[in-house]
Structure 1
Amino acid sequence: MSGLADIADIGTDPRRGGYSRHVFDDAERQLREWFVEQAQRRGLDVHTDANANMWAWWGEPGDDAVVTGSHLDSVPGGGAFDGPLGVTSALQAVDVLRARGFQPRRPFAVVVFAEEEGGRFGVPCLGSKLLTGQIDPDRARNLRDAGGLTFAEAMADFGADPARAGRDDAALRRIGQFVELHVEQGKGLIELGRPVGVADSILGHGRWRFRFHGQGNHAGATRIDDRRDPMLPAAELVLAARRAAEAADDARATVGRIVPTPGGTNVIASAVDVHLDARAPERSRELVADLSARAAEFAAHEGCEVEVLEESFGETVHFDPTMRDRLRDLLHGAPALPSGAGHDAGILAAERPTGMLFVRNPTGISHAPEEHAEQADCEEGSLALADVLQELAR
């Protein structure tokens, strides 16, 4: 897609591969500038709200608007399509509607949500959670990145006022219906042989940090029976998480990040942080509670201690069935699929009629450089989005 080609050089990650674009960093700021330029070229009026989300309005802003969009940030070393495909498709849908001579009779906007992936401050969908009040603004302001900078400090450096962050009822009233297009993160459309699908639900999911405390010491001078090494219970937790997910119904449990302190090759760690992502249709918190008990046993066996912090959590989301069925009808019976990934649409679903479109991913891989979507499928997705928006905005 032309829009994706325009930003293909922004935020490339030479170490991990793919892209690393995180809220308020240089790459994400360049993407914001690109979005503003693209929106203004189309005659859209761009505003940034108190939570750093960007809104591009076709005509005057107003309540009960038809809104579409996604996000521009990525996970560390992520793919090119997760987030930006939804933004570029929204802009191209505007082009399609204009070419058709369509003029919306309802307010209409394209939105870019901030920090959807949580790649910098650890909480996913931070912009939409602040907008809807699903995270306490004081907690959000005090989130810290890997360098110790708070979200409030990063907002201020960006030029925003962190004191204004939080639930925005005026902005929420402007959302009458929200539709997000996203590359599929799985193989559902591959297996069905369809280029475009509709979301039915999002798995309940959360993030937890297990911090194992031990005794830092010398790797060569400390005998094995004298050690209190927190890396051992951390390693046992990684294996236990996989086994727990295998034993549960349609669950996922992933350790994607382990951070030892101090992190030297010839040093026994004094502490190890294990970051767990757990998802399941039901009982994901119970799965983590069981893992927490096991972690305490693993720690005690090594003479260590463990503390567990819930960083974020969301129940299973079932998209508005009327909206879902309407989208399917408009798209000639497009299949309805569950999503194992979280989205800003899932956050807004608690507040407003919300739907999602998926574009086929021939690799089935996401959050990695191999994530992909074919040009023809992307164009099909943009046309499908335009058809949906035209019907909603009549």
Structure 2
Amino acid sequence: MTGVARLLGEVAHIGVDARGGYARPGYGDADRELREWFVGHAQARGLDVHRDRNGIVWAWWRPPGSSGPAVVTGSHLDSVPGGGAYDGPLGVASAIGAIDVMRARGLALQRPIAIAVFPEEEGSRFGLACLGSRLLAGGVQAERALALTDREGDTLAEVLRRDGLDPRHVGRDDETLAGVGCFVELHVEQGRGLVDLGRPVAIGSSILGHGRWRITIDGQGNHAGTTRMSDRRDPMVAAARTVVEIRDLARGIPDARATVGRIEPVPGGTNVIASRVSFWVDARHPDDLVTAALVTSIRDAVTRVAAEEGCAAALQEESLSPTVDFDHGLRDRLRSALPDAPELGTGAGHDAGVLASRIPTAMLFVRNPTGISHSPEELVEDSDADHGAVALADALEAVAGSAADGSI
């Protein structure tokens, strides 16, 4: 037993959402409590812990005689609203468990091992997914990131100050990346690939290109009871029609996905015709050109529908991540360590995908028997969690090298 289930049980009460599942937005109270939990376990194991200028928490294990760029693992601790218990925390708990496994084996590793915990991976607070890893890798300009606002109107700069970070030092960090040789992230599978294959663990092959766009439709606010239907310029009607068109557009393209999961009317009164409606589209496809074409079609549709309803519309990109094929050399090392593990692609974004532009990255997926994610129904069996932590230990050893095999 690797103790992963026990570790996750220790945080099962943190950030419980009354609507179901968990709500653990980045830099919030739940996120802070989870960070403290991780730091406590890392320090109890004698790891060297620090938080960098981008808010990433690092825990370093430097076995005697190890040197050179580190082999890094880890994940995130924040969640989407109503999220499951495993998306993120499984990777962090498994990283702790993997270090325990490697220490118990007593091998003399040639390279240091580190665990990284990335903030605001889901983007549920500031709308930009993988915010911590993007800042680290230079995937977003610091000025743009610091100006992002949450639903309360607080900027990232203000939130970082309250969380003990100096916004003046946020941004691309080449010095930290120079100390990272590669990154291997373990994550709960967010689909049914392993269920269908009857396997507990898979090696990641790729991540679908994806992005988020904000659509704003402006109409005319008015009284719900006194305004005749023929006199309305209702942006909610335009938004509703557009959501259906977005679904139909994505259905017409093989392997495309398009989702509207968040909508905000202004002012949001029950007896008020909205003056403005904002909603967010998540679009994905393995071919980045197809994703771009889909978004163009969505822009055309929302412009047309808004005009038909007497409204005006605008579409703004908030984030865009191209399709990622994980490093082939690193995948070869993982395949040698895990010869029975299949390879699977994923439609979900991850910090490993962002970091792939700067360093070799790879992923391991652990079976989710429900095939459901971003939901309280997300699940990992205890035995599979153990399989995952052992597989991660095997993978990290294969990459870090040991005195026994002389690899590096």
TM-score (norm 1): 0.98
Displacement of 1:102: 2.5
- Corresponding residue for 1:149? 154
Amino acid paired to 1:22: P
Contact 2:333 2:399 in 1 (8 A): no
> What is aligned with 1:368?
375
Partner SS state of residue 235, structure 1: helix
- Mapped partners of 1:350, 1:24: distance in 2: 25
- 1:301 is matched with 308
Runs of 4 or more off by more than 6 Å in structure 1?
none
Q: Does 1:139 align with 2:109?
A: no
Cα distance in 2 between the residues matched to 1:232 and 1:34: 46
Preserved contact between residue 79 and residue 368 of structure 1 (Cα < 8 Å): yes
* Residue of structure 2 aligned with 1:262, choices 267, 278, 281: 267
Residues 70 and 84 in structure 1, CA contact (< 8 A), matched pair in contact too: yes
- Greater CA drift, 103-112 or 369-378: 103-112
Match of 1:390?
Answer: 397
Q: CA deviation at 1:62?
A: 6.8
- Tell me the equivalent position of 2:93: 88
Give the letter aligned to residue 34 of structure 1: W
Once the two structures are TM-superposed, the CA of residue 181 in structure 1 deviates from its matched residue by 0.3
- 2:200 is the counterpart of 1:199: no
SS at match of 2:281: strand
Give the length in aligned residue pairs: 393
SS of the aligned residue for 1:259 comes to strand
8 A Cα contact 2:333 2:398, kept in partner: no
Instruction: Name the CA distance, whole Å, in 2 between partners of 1:137 and 1:162.
Output: 9
Measure, in 1, the Cα distance between the counterparts of 2:248 and 2:33: 42
Conserved 8 A contact 2:211-2:283: yes
Match of 2:406 in 1: none
CA distance in 1, matches of 2:346, 2:221: 42
Partner residue, 1:333: 340
User: 1:63 deviation in Å?
Assistant: 4.9
The equivalent residue for 2:352 is: 345
- Name the CA distance, whole Å, in 2 between partners of 1:392 and 1:324: 10
RMSD over aligned Cα atoms:
1.1
2:188 to 183, 188, 196: 183
Q: Among residues 118, 121, 124, which one is paired with 1:116 in the alignment? A: 121
Following superposition, the deviation at residue 104 of structure 1 comes to 2.5
Q: Does 1:44 align with 2:47?
A: yes
CA-CA distance at 1:244 after TM superposition: 1.1
Assess if the C-alpha contact under 8 Å between 1:63 and 1:173 holds in 2. no
- CA distance in 2 between counterparts of 1:243 and 1:128 reads 33
- Indicate if the aligned counterparts of 1:185 and 1:361 stay in contact, CA closer than 8 A: yes
Q: Find the aligned partners of 2:83 and 2:339 in 1 and give their Cα distance.
A: 32
| Cα distance per residue 1:332-352 (max 9 Å; x no partner) | 231110100000000111111
Instruction: Give the letter for the 1:269 counterpart.
Output: A
Unaligned runs of 5+ in 2: 402-408
Deviation at 1:103, TM superposition (A): 3.4
Per the alignment, residue 31 of structure 1 pairs with 34
TM-score, normalised via structure 2 length? 0.95
Unmatched segments (≥5 aa) in structure 1: none
**Are 1:203 and 1:315, in contact at CA under 8 Å, matched by a contact in 2?**
yes
